[in-house]
Each structure stands twice: as C-alpha cells, then as structure tokens.
Amino acid sequence: MPLQIPDPVLGTWAKGFSARTAGIRLSEIAGADLHLSDLTTPILTVHEAALAHNEMTVFDWASEQGVLLAPHGKTTMAPALWQRLLDAGAWGISVATTWQAEVAVAAGVRTVLIANAVTDREAARHLGALLAGDAGLRILCWADSPTTVGILADALCDAPRPLDVLVELGGAGGRTGARSLAEGESIAEAILDAPGLRLAGVTGYEGPFGPDRSATSIAAVDAYLETLVTLHRRLAYSEDVRPVLSAGGSAFPDRAAAVLAPHRADADIVLRSGAFQIHDDGFYSRMSPFGPLTSTAPLRSAMHAWSRVVSQPEPNLALLDAGRRDVPFDLGLPIPQSVDGEITALNDQHAFLHLADTASVVPGDVVRLGLSHPCTAFDKWRVVAVIDDPDADDPRVVGAVATCF
C-alpha cells in the first residue's frame, strides 16, 4: 500500500538546499537537473545504488533464514525510505515512541511495532482510538512490569479492539526489560487478565550484551536470546494469536536468526534491524556480519556528508563547515574520504581536520566525509538529497527525502 510521502515546498528551512531550489516541491527535485555543486555545504546525502544493494542483500538473507523484518523507522524517520522497506517485503515498521507511531499510522503503515513500553495513559488511549478507527491497523507495544500493564489496562479497558502487548525480557547489565523469567511470566499473566490487552509474544534487545563481535560477546548475546525463547515456550497464548518472537538485530542479525529462527513454526520471528538500509562507515561497518559471516555481499554505506573548508590557519589544520549540528559523533567522529587526514574534534559548526603531511586543501574545497551511526545523522536534517554516485566529480541529485523528526 503506498504511504503518504511528505512533499513540501523547499525554502530556506531546508538546510543544504540553495536558493536555486527555493519554491521547488520535494517530488520535483528528481527532474530539476541538479548536481551536488548546486547545493550548499554542509549537506547530507544518501546513495541510491547503495540503498538498493543493502535492501536486497538483507531481505534476501532474511527470506532464506525464515525471519521477518520490521525495520526500525526511527533510524531515518523518512516515510519515503519506509516505503522502500515495505515494498521490499517488510512485515511492518518499528518505532520507539507513541509519537513516532502516530507518524507511521498517519503515513499509512499497517503494522506498527512500538519497541518500547507505553506508560503514558493518554497516549495509550489514543492508540486505542487509532485501532478502533481502522480494522486493518495493527499496533504492538511492550511491557516489562505489571505496573506498565496496569497503565495500559486502565487506559484501554473499554477499547473495542485489543492492543497487542509483548513481554519484554532484559537481563543484568541490559537496558529495559524484566530481569528474570519469573518476572516475565508474571507480566504475561497480567496481560492475559487485562481487558483491552492481548498477549502477543516476547521481545528484547540483545545489543547491550555484545559491545563487539568477540567470542565472549557472541556467547553473551546467544545466551540472552535463548532466554527469549525459553520465556516464549513457557507462555500460553490465546488461540487467535500467532505470537511474535522479536529481537533487535542491527549488530547481531545472524545470531538472532540462528537462535530464534528454529522456532518459526509456532511464532513470527521478527527482527527490528534499522541500520542496515543506510549502514555506515563506522560502528556498523565494524559490527555488521553481512559478508563472509552470512555468505552475502557486505553492506555499503549509503550516507555521506559533504563539508567545505572555511579556514586553514595552520599548515596541517583545516576547519570545515560541518559540526555537531550536522553530523553524528556519538559512535565515532566523521572520517575524511576525499583527502588524507583525520577529524579530531567537532564544535557546533566546525570540524577540525588534521591533514597528513602529503595532503593539502585550500579554503573553498569540499571534503567528503564517511559517517558513523545513521540514527544520529538523519535527525539533524529535514531534507536529505539522494545522489547517483558519490565517487563522481559532481554527483547528480536524483531525488530527495523528507524526515519527520
């Protein structure tokens, strides 16, 4: 089903888009005969061919493994990119908050998985109203305590359609989630007893248990995933429910599939991997198993930033016009790709580029930057340009997507 894709008229509000694009609708960018040089720096771009490669690689792999994908929409908050995922066969779209869920529902997503607990009564009532108004809509959320179940039950006791709730199981040192199987079972019992709610499965997030891909981390991740399976097998679901058994999967999709997929006969195995569509040149390039570990092609970074030299106050130091308001820095600093050097620090609006002895730039030069962590790249941009080839002398702009942050 086609989503409602934002199609604003561009203006000065759209960072990176120059005066030449003012008054052009987003949907008209593809036919506007624009190149990267027609935009202003700093600018974030996505690479069309890399997007398609990553989508095909991961969806083909998921099909072979017998797992479903509900990619995390909060990564980009871009309905145009969600549409690509749904067209590729996504089971649904995951989000992190009730507001993001509203964005997804308004866009036309039919299955929305809120990968979080909902503890706001008014927000829960609104979810109930959305379900009541659309028989084809499915919304799922999490609960990791009887208190959370009580909040949902209070808000939805008179709802005409039940809200699907998954028991979230965590572990010592993890993030949210019940800390024991016994707690998980008590949460499930509370859901079963609550009017307006339906026990829909078991879920969790394995990321905190493996900071890298060492043997120790893999063992910890697998052990955690096994607890999700154990809890799932202990629960009794209503006859009208095909339960969901879900894990995160951005860094460890291979492990999630290996541990959970053998149970697909009695559950939908849903991975919420969100970073794969964009991928990166930093954290996920180191963590992703795609390539030899999965017998697939490796993923490719589909995002780059382009930043202009604004000063060269010292022989081996150049200052760029991209800073913390433009590029991610939480999982690693940007990586210069068109000049030999290193970004050593970011201010709000500047990057410190320390050049190798053999490298040189002058004010006005544009430097391509590889980035780490798509989630904290897209949230800084309201419009992102889509280009045909980041290696071209002057890439052609073949489209643009709007974000809803």
User: Does 105 share its domain with 196?
Assistant: yes
Number of domains in the chain: 2
Residue at 144 is within a domain: yes
pLDDT of residue 335: 98
Domain that holds residue 385: 9-48+299-402
Low-confidence ranges of the chain (pLDDT < 50): none
Backbone angles phi, psi at 93, to 5 degrees: -125, 130
Q: Are residues 312 and 261 in the same domain?
A: no
The answer to whether position 288 is within a domain reads no
What gap in Å lies between CA 387 and CA 314, rounded to an integer? 33
Q: What's this model's pTM, rounded to 2 decimal places?
A: 0.96
Residue 67: CATH number of its domain: 3.20.20.10
Does 393 lie in the same domain as 313? yes
- Say yes or no: 125 and 28 in one domain: no
pLDDT at 251: 87
The per-residue pLDDT for 381 is: 98
pLDDT for 121 equals 97
Per-residue pLDDT at 18: 85
**What does the alpha-carbon distance between residue 383 and residue 372 come to, in Å, rounded to a whole number?**
19
Q: What is the pLDDT of residue 211?
A: 87
DSSP 72-132: BGGGT--HHHHHHHHHTT-S-EEESSHHHHHHHHHHT-SEEEEEEE---HHHHHHHHHHHH
